[in-house]
Structure 1
């Protein structure tokens, strides 16, 4: 097992402070690229190659591997973006209070970025060449659905056997073994404008129509099946004294099984096929953007390995199911053995009081490094046995 001494711990916290104090909201390309530049320099200092995959609008994505790596079978996925607006870091910078660290993105997931780097450093320092069996993807748009980085993740994952996803662990240190899938839709309604005082009867309100649709869409939710539908954003109208000529709604759908999306989409189409307010026109568009992350035989074996390592470290690692999505959905749907929630533990992600349990930073770094080492040894043993047949 690797050991994180006081000097390394100080280095980890110094880097974490630097990253947290750099704004890197999903739409702030400059900030994300600055995060990428800092991490690139760190990886290059320990002999790794960093390949930049540029994007004009969003932050650049990074793919990192050692130059001696030949057909690595383990991929690590972590994201550099946060949900916070530019200027947040200046308003509430990194701070430590007792056993906890605070700041925008401290646990989701800048602590994980530190953890991955120091796991690689530890493997290099102890001359465990398992670091040659790893390819790391640091993406820039996970918080907005990985719309630009998904193809890169899937490209890197084509020849991988294991995917280690670095979202934060639960408050109790639990890893994530299942997640809901997510879909996004937009509804646009065209109404008929009219003066709300003198010609009210001539108007056809797009807002009224979309209100009917909102109520019907919410009734698709079925907690027993694990299906939820939420109209989370609404906008419409042009003025208070005008019958609304336009209205839009953005809809979030979550499912637990891939086949459920057909059922949900069919119901949505039926709801939007006929207006409640005659004279209005309705358009529905959208699709599934993250499939569910489900347990497979391969992932169960990987989960068991992580738990065994945890037991050896004196840590009980529980499993958890989360309704939120992550990039683990992509690797899981490709048939790659996937485990998520391998980052340090903390809580209140996406909130002003987001925190990191500092004691978990070295602990999860050691867990990650040992998992990579064991997976590499297992793979090589399997290859050797196959050659002997």
Structure 2
């Protein structure tokens, strides 16, 4: 299979260029669906069945399986959306500099989409029936928390033994064995407006109330336990001489263990349950939508299988814990053995210098193909 993959390296890069040069931010349905159209054609040519979950607002979610009526053991999940707005491709399209390729979304995770495709093509080309033992989900809303695809991923996960998540490997080549969970809250405060010079005593400051809440929320931070609360955006007020009647805070939450979810949720709700400034009113929306990917026994066993495969093909493969969330949380918290970061190597995620290490493309494609084969024995 390695020879097949190496012989198609140029073709793989050409397809990555096509995908990168399509704007496909999470809120740009047209672009995400265009990415899907390119990917689905070769799967159909190999005889795979395509099931499409259509969405009006976000990109369609897609399930790919060789025979939809036969149970499979392995779930592979990859997302087609990026964090970049429409017009980004026009300003900085795909380009190659030395051993790296650059472009919006190239490593998170358009190169992973092609890595997955060619791993399957290699199995198919070599008549290795392991390609019939996989179910693939391509979703279009991962970067915004998978609001439409989470249920789909969870439903399909219930029948699987293994989940391989195609987020990119870390820039040092490590795959991901554990991730923090998290979510987002929006805290809205309503007060009462008044002229700050003429009748300030008649006002009820929404910004002052929000400030009290921010201090209390920030005090929930516990670096030692891996709890992170960040009020990252605040809005409020209309004019400097008016007591503000409205204010809003946007809160990012990160947790390291499943048990912390209940605790953090309860504390945030308690803090926001009553005002510090009498006469103000508080509304709290949102929640923790991804539990952590923890390195439990099932995940350790899967990790060791992948590392054994890597050893056999000459790759030194380390595993790391990372702070960002992903769709790995969903199958993992249903008891499915899950490992993440199985895409190629790169860095600069979500930034202008996002890049793919070109030589890792074929290496990680071969690793994925051999892992699928091993898990299907």
Question: Normalising to structure 2: TM-score of the pair?
Answer: 0.97
Partner of 2:332: 332
Structure 2: gaps (5+ residues): none
What is the CA distance between 1:209 and its match in structure 2? 1.2
Partner of 1:100: 100
1:1-389 counterparts in 2 under 5 A? 1-4=1-4, 7-67=7-67, 70-377=70-377
What is the CA distance between 1:184 and its match in structure 2? 1.7
Note if contact 2:6-2:362 (Cα within 8 Å) is conserved in structure 1. no
What is the CA distance between 1:2 and its match in structure 2? 2.6
Note if contact 2:130-2:372 (Cα within 8 Å) is conserved in structure 1. yes
What is the CA distance between 1:134 and its match in structure 2? 0.4
Structure 1: gaps (5+ residues): 378-389
Note if contact 1:3-1:366 (Cα within 8 Å) is conserved in structure 2. no
Other structure's SS at 1:359 match: helix
Q: Number of paired residues?
A: 377
Note if contact 2:5-2:365 (Cα within 8 Å) is conserved in structure 1. no
Note if contact 2:265-2:288 (Cα within 8 Å) is conserved in structure 1. no
Cα deviations across residues 45-95 of structure 1 (Å, max 9, x unaligned)? 222222111011110011111138721110100000000000101110000
Cα separation, 2, equivalents of 1:15 and 1:46 = 17
Cα separation, 2, equivalents of 1:295 and 1:282 = 38
Cα separation, 1, equivalents of 2:346 and 2:222 = 30
What is the CA distance between 1:197 and its match in structure 2? 2.5
Give the root-mean-square deviation of aligned CA atoms.
1.4
What is the CA distance between 1:277 and its match in structure 2? 2.2
What is the CA distance between 1:4 and its match in structure 2? 4.5
Q: 1:154 to 1:68 in 2, by over 3 A?
A: closer
Other structure's SS at 1:360 match: helix
Cα separation, 1, equivalents of 2:266 and 2:289 = 17
Q: 1:6 to 1:133 in 2, by over 3 A?
A: closer
Greater CA drift, 105-114 or 275-284: 275-284
Cα separation, 2, equivalents of 1:291 and 1:37 = 31
Cα separation, 1, equivalents of 2:120 and 2:223 = 42
Other structure's SS at 1:58 match: coil
Note if contact 1:4-1:362 (Cα within 8 Å) is conserved in structure 2. no
Cα separation, 2, equivalents of 1:74 and 1:243 = 58
Question: Normalising to structure 1: TM-score of the pair?
Answer: 0.94
Cα deviations across residues 336-368 of structure 1 (Å, max 9, x unaligned)? 010000000100100010011001000000000
Q: 1:220 to 1:68 in 2, by over 3 A?
A: closer
